[in-house]
Structure 1
Amino acid sequence: MALVNSREMFKKAYEGNYAVGAFNVNNMEIVQGIMAAAQQENAPVILQVSAGARKYASPIYLRKLVEAAIEETGLDLVLHLDHGEDFEICKACIDDGFSSVMIDGSRFPLEENIALTKKVVEYAHDKGVTVEAELGKLAGVEDAVKVAAKDATYTDPDEAVEFVERTGVDSLAIAIGTSHGAYKFTGDPTLDFDRLATITEKLKGFPLVLHGASSVPQEFVELNNKYGGQIPGAQGVPESMLSQAAKLGVCKINIDTDLRLALTASIRKTFVESPAEFDPRKYLGPGRDAIRDMVAHKMRNVLGCSGKK
């Protein structure tokens, strides 16, 4: 099988009323856990890399890990740049073999965002690479993305239509109330589904993306707290809301924080229960299994993409 772009994957997701999970990767165990789940669930999958993860792991190591994942599982997958901040990093990832990139110009005024996105689209499409962009601002913190709650803005449906038409982008990340990181809501979680439905209707068949969509399962918050993690008050997006979004034109849902919580809780548990342990295989192995189980749950029970490969 092969590295593919997102075009056909999103077409199937839109028509089938499900979403594809885009899971952030940083190292070998995370890649292995995600791919084991995708193979087990016979599900489409996107591995995505932030600029910080790319710097941490090194582009060549990441590329070889992805090649190994394809060879071992026999699955097609998308390798996606998450939150590319400028043309240069998008170009570098395209030249390095990524099959999809995100250019995040959401910090700019509309016209600047359109100009930057269009420049990336023109370069990427010439190489057979798909492009995601963002319109509206999500609050929260994730790697280099830092937006205060007061600066968050929801996506305007009419601007979304203009943006897609003028840029030729392949998918659009929208802001309807999610936020980056573990601390998403101070009160009852709410997403603006009316806004989502309006955008979906106006764009008719165009794939939308939801960032900041980790659910922050309390079982993993409690496990981290039990074993010394101390993660107070984290509250994510209810999984039922994510399932609802997948039926309203959202074809890609980003998940990162949940993976971090599952992996870290597993590692902390090992060290508390076996404080003399120093064999990395004895704590990274169970961590990899925790990633697999988390991703399989998301694919089967939340995204609805199990069996859709």
Structure 2
Amino acid sequence: MALVNSIEMFKKAYEGGYAVGAFNVNNMEIIQGIVSAAQAENAPLILQVSAGARKYANPIYLKKLVEAAIEETGLDIVLHLDHGEDFEICKACIDDGFSSVMIDGSKYPLEENIALTKRVVDYAKQFGVTVEGELGKLAGVEDAVKVSSKDATYTDPDEAVEFVERTGVDSLAIAIGTSHGAYKFKGEPSLDFARLEVITSKLPGFPLVLHGASSVPEEFVALCNKYGGEIPGARGVPEEMLRQAAKSGVCKINIDTDLRLAMTASIRQTFVEHPSEFDPRKYLGPGRDAIQKMVQHKIKNVLGASGKR
């Protein structure tokens, strides 16, 4: 099919009460596992690239791998920049052929965030590229994004309305209690659904985004623990909360940490059970299968996006 922007995907998701998975990619096997899962589930798909992944794998390689996935599967895919920190990286990705970008100005005061985001929007619209902004600060760590718990702030609903109206963004990442990284909640995880309801009431029909929504199934936690990668004792967001968010105006849920843990657990298992193995195909292949299994689980049981393509 084609490389597409997110407008139609989000419209259908909002009306259908489900969320589109935005899965972070770093190499060929991760892309293959994700697209195989989306094809098997007949689900809409966003593949997103962080600044770290862009530097690691080279944007040209990543774009060509995504084009190959489209050609092989017949899927429509959004290729999205995750957490673009300035105008220059957003422009570079747009010029490289990305169909969607995120400009993350959440670290700035509101007026600076609006100005930066609008500058990206004005450039992106010339090329039919959609733009995601962010308002509010999530705690946690993801690549270059590092925010302490004390500096985290929830999204103000009135500021969200002003931000959307003045920037012209196509979607908005909000902070309602999620956190970047793996297993980061010391207490009972919770999302501020009352705040989400107010935001959706003030921005009816507008697609919202959740970052920091890690929720690793127990079988993958057990694998990591069994094969030498014990996970710290805090917890991610319960999947039932993410399902509720997907029914409540959240049209895009970012998924990254879960994929890393699934692939790493599989690779560790291979090396523990076959310590003399040195053929990358013999450990990356099972890692790719673990990615597919994780993504299918997310599509069916968290996002509610099976059969929604």
Name the TM tier (shorter chain). over 0.9
- Aligned-residue Cα RMSD (Å) equals 0.7
Q: Distance in 1 between matches of 2:129 and 2:252?
A: 16
Bigger Cα displacement from structure 2, 225-234 vs 251-260? 225-234
Q: Secondary structure at the match of 1:49?
A: strand
Partner of 1:12: 12
In the TM superposition, residue 114 of structure 1 has moved relative to its aligned partner by: 0.2
Asked if structure 1 preserves the Cα contact closer than 8 Å seen for 2:20 and 2:251, the reply is yes
Q: Displaced runs of 4+ in structure 1, greater than 3 A?
A: none
Partner of 2:22: 22
In the TM superposition, residue 188 of structure 1 has moved relative to its aligned partner by: 1.0
Partner of 1:60: 60
In the TM superposition, residue 189 of structure 1 has moved relative to its aligned partner by: 1.1
**1:183-202 to 2 correspondence within 5 Å?**
183-202=183-202
Counterpart code for 1:92:
A
Bigger Cα displacement from structure 2, 112-121 vs 294-303? 294-303
Q: Distance in 2 between matches of 1:72 and 1:214?
A: 29
Q: Distance in 1 between matches of 2:113 and 2:232?
A: 36
Partner of 1:294: 294
Asked if structure 2 preserves the Cα contact closer than 8 Å seen for 1:184 and 1:237, the reply is no
Q: Secondary structure at the match of 1:219?
A: helix
Please report the TM-score for the alignment, with normalisation by the length of structure 1.
0.99
1:95-142 deviation digits (Å, cap 9, x = unpaired): 000000000000000000000000000000111000000000000001
1:63-120 deviation digits (Å, cap 9, x = unpaired): 1100100000000000000000000000000000000000000000000000000000
Asked if structure 2 preserves the Cα contact closer than 8 Å seen for 1:94 and 1:100, the reply is yes
In the TM superposition, residue 40 of structure 1 has moved relative to its aligned partner by: 0.2
Q: Does 1:274 align with 2:274?
A: yes
Q: Secondary structure at the match of 2:150?
A: helix
Q: Distance in 1 between matches of 2:24 and 2:234?
A: 19
Q: Secondary structure at the match of 2:31?
A: helix
In the TM superposition, residue 235 of structure 1 has moved relative to its aligned partner by: 1.0
1:7-63 deviation digits (Å, cap 9, x = unpaired): 010000000000000000000000000000010000000000000000000111101
Bigger Cα displacement from structure 2, 95-104 vs 219-228? 219-228
1:199-234 deviation digits (Å, cap 9, x = unpaired): 001001000000001102332222112111122214
Counterpart code for 2:14:
Y
Partner of 2:220: 220
Q: Secondary structure at the match of 1:22?
A: strand
Asked if structure 1 preserves the Cα contact closer than 8 Å seen for 2:183 and 2:214, the reply is no
Partner of 2:305: 305
In the TM superposition, residue 154 of structure 1 has moved relative to its aligned partner by: 0.1
Partner of 2:115: 115
Asked if structure 1 preserves the Cα contact closer than 8 Å seen for 2:106 and 2:137, the reply is yes
Q: Distance in 2 between matches of 1:116 and 1:216?
A: 34
Which ranges of structure 1 fall in alignment gaps of 5 or more residues? none
Asked if structure 2 preserves the Cα contact closer than 8 Å seen for 1:3 and 1:78, the reply is yes
**1:1-309 to 2 correspondence within 5 Å?**
1-309=1-309
In the TM superposition, residue 185 of structure 1 has moved relative to its aligned partner by: 1.0
Asked if structure 2 preserves the Cα contact closer than 8 Å seen for 1:136 and 1:156, the reply is yes
1:172-210 deviation digits (Å, cap 9, x = unpaired): 000000000013311111100000010001001000000
Asked if structure 2 preserves the Cα contact closer than 8 Å seen for 1:41 and 1:296, the reply is yes
Q: Secondary structure at the match of 2:97?
A: coil
Asked if structure 2 preserves the Cα contact closer than 8 Å seen for 1:217 and 1:236, the reply is no
Counterpart code for 1:237:
V
Asked if structure 1 preserves the Cα contact closer than 8 Å seen for 2:177 and 2:192, the reply is yes
Asked if structure 1 preserves the Cα contact closer than 8 Å seen for 2:183 and 2:231, the reply is no
Asked if structure 1 preserves the Cα contact closer than 8 Å seen for 2:90 and 2:102, the reply is yes
Please report the TM-score for the alignment, with normalisation by the length of structure 2.
0.99
Asked if structure 2 preserves the Cα contact closer than 8 Å seen for 1:140 and 1:183, the reply is no
Q: Secondary structure at the match of 1:82?
A: strand
Q: Secondary structure at the match of 1:48?
A: strand
Which ranges of structure 2 fall in alignment gaps of 5 or more residues? none
Q: Distance in 2 between matches of 1:12 and 1:234?
A: 35
Bigger Cα displacement from structure 2, 254-263 vs 233-242? 233-242
Identity %, equivalent residues: 85
